[in-house]
Amino acid sequence: MLHEDRLFSTDPAVRGIARKLYDEVKDLPIISPHGHVEAQMFAENKPFPDPAQLLIVPDHYIFRLLYSQGISLESLGVRPVDGSWFETDSRKIWQIFCEKFYLFAGTPTGVWLMHEFSELFGIQEKLSDADAQEIYNRIQEKLNLPDFLPRAMFDRFNLEVLSTTDGASDDLKYHRKIRESGWKGNVVPCFRPDDVTNLQNPNWKQNIVRLGELTGITIQSFRDFVSALEKRRKEFIEMGAVATDHGVELPWTHELSPNEADRIFQDALKGKVTDESAKLFTAHMLMEMARMSVEDGMVMQIHPGCYRDHNREVFRRFGQNKGADIPLQTEFTKSLSELLNKFGNRRDFTVVVFTLDETTYSRELATLAGHYPAMKIGPTWWFFDSINGMTRHREAILETASIYNTVGFIDDTRAFPSIPARHDVSRRIDCNYLAGLFARHIIDMESAEIMAREMAYGLSKRTYCLKK
């Protein structure tokens, strides 16, 4: 299924250079500094149950497209929150997936899946309804082998480090189990405090209580809240964390006075939260998190511009993260003004800004990152983590910000087996892009080789100050 020159230019001059560059970086270790694979998987190191539970049920990239074609989420094994019926026969789920596999042709999900099937499981034929059960059996046979346990796959993938994403109210027990096990795989947490900084989170008060329990701080004021967050960050750092992550609808930053912040916090404790107060609190907490990063050295990541759970019926029936998150038009220049004017000139602070609004690449993000020492541009994210999306990203950013104000590739995935596939796509696209620059005599071969290695490995390694 996989051609050795896939994703490379049809121009022979460019393709030959792309192949040469790719051969030099394809086997570099993988750094995954931000993602959503669960630490529990590596702590318990249990066999994956079956192909459907591994590849289909947890992957919203897959079931969102199938749902768009009228296939119910229940039939794909997605559990309703009310406990009503959903398909538990993994063979039936797999059969539906194989019958509809043609839908993924030309999509990044299709490219990743073909890489997984070929490179990981040795499946060389295209999936179809006729061969569905036979291929299921072959994958199941592999999953029963010791070489396909989570830790063994981690080592086979040549993962140098993998970061999970963990809330401020997470106890990190699985990270502790990994450390206590003696396994040498480098799995670290990432501090994502949205569960306590988003006042509109339906579980906000319970999460505040939990945060207090974990830190031994009775949280009765905004000052108590900040102290608890600072203590939690230290605990995350002790477990290897190097970064924070903030999923906000708007990247607006604004500093409140201590009295203003405490007034909003007190109202929230009483259940008095308005859209405006929640927006102000989030803006202020981004400033607070930047201040804390200056003090403790953690890289700050901002993932803005997503309308979460747009399909309210799906949210009501199945909960969060079920494929209905939609990009929003996003503004950065004014929104980040306060944060960058206070912290952006520092060389001991790094803020990585992502976007789902491609129109901001050259107009705002490249110009901001091309000036402020603290700011870096995140790689393509979510819907734009694709062949054309990666190319547009490079074309829009390089001339103003250079590659050295970007942070390499970040897979940001929940689908563990797709990590090598995603990094392979990124490396191929970057090598092809650099080959085009060389073919047009914009860069020389020495520069192309250095840049290819940086984009595949070096930029992430340095940005996140990662230690092997």
CATH number for the domain harbouring residue 119: 1.10.2020.10
- Mean pLDDT rounded to a whole number for the chain: 96
Residues 362 and 303 in one domain: yes
- Residue 468's pLDDT is what? 35
Q: CB–CB of 170/194 below 8 Å? A: no
* Other Cβ atoms closer than 10 A to 399: 12
Last residue in a domain, options 148, 183, 218: 148
Would residue 6 count as lying in a domain?
no
CATH number for the domain harbouring residue 340: 3.20.20.140
Would residue 141 count as lying in a domain?
yes
Q: pLDDT of 365-377, one tens digit each?
A: 999 999 999 999 9
Residues 310 and 411 in one domain: yes
Q: CB–CB of 185/160 below 8 Å? A: no
* Other Cβ atoms closer than 10 A to 384: 20
Would residue 103 count as lying in a domain?
yes
Would residue 2 count as lying in a domain?
no
- Mean pLDDT, residues 405-415 taken together: 95
Percentage of the chain beyond pLDDT 90 is 98
Q: pLDDT of 223-247, one tens digit each?
A: 999 999 999 999 999 999 999 999 9
Q: What does the alpha-carbon distance between residue 261 and residue 177 come to, in Å, rounded to a whole number?
A: 37
Residues 253 and 295 in one domain: yes
Task: Please say if the pLDDT value at position 466 is more than 70.
Answer: no
Residues 163 and 214 in one domain: yes
* Other Cβ atoms closer than 10 A to 34: 27
Residues 340 and 433 in one domain: yes
Tokens of 110: 């299709």
- Residue 368's pLDDT is what? 98
Q: Which of 220, 138, 230 is closest to 193 using CA atoms?
A: 230
Q: Structure pTM?
A: 0.96
- Mean pLDDT, residues 446-460 taken together: 98
Last residue in a domain, options 123, 148, 173: 148
Residues 282 and 323 in one domain: yes
Q: pLDDT of 240-270, one tens digit each?
A: 999 999 999 999 999 999 999 999 999 999 9
Task: Please say if the pLDDT value at position 122 is more than 70.
Answer: yes
Residues 356 and 428 in one domain: yes
CA torsion 320→322→323→325, rounded to 10°?
-10
- Residue 55's pLDDT is what? 95
- Residue 465's pLDDT is what? 79
Q: How far is CA 35 from the centre of its chain?
A: 4
Total domain count, the chain: 2
* Other Cβ atoms closer than 10 A to 266: 13
Q: pLDDT of 50-100, one tens digit each?
A: 999 999 999 999 999 999 999 999 999 999 999 999 999 999 999 999 999
Task: Please say if the pLDDT value at position 303 is more than 60.
Answer: yes
- Residue 397's pLDDT is what? 97
- Residue 69's pLDDT is what? 97
Task: Please say if the pLDDT value at position 448 is more than 70.
Answer: yes
Last residue in a domain, options 148, 180, 208: 148
Q: What does the alpha-carbon distance between residue 327 and residue 355 come to, in Å, rounded to a whole number?
A: 9
Residues 89 and 22 in one domain: no
The parent domain of residue 82 ranges over: 47-148
Percentage of the chain beyond pLDDT 70 is 99
Residues 36 and 112 in one domain: no
* Other Cβ atoms closer than 10 A to 413: 20
Would residue 390 count as lying in a domain?
yes
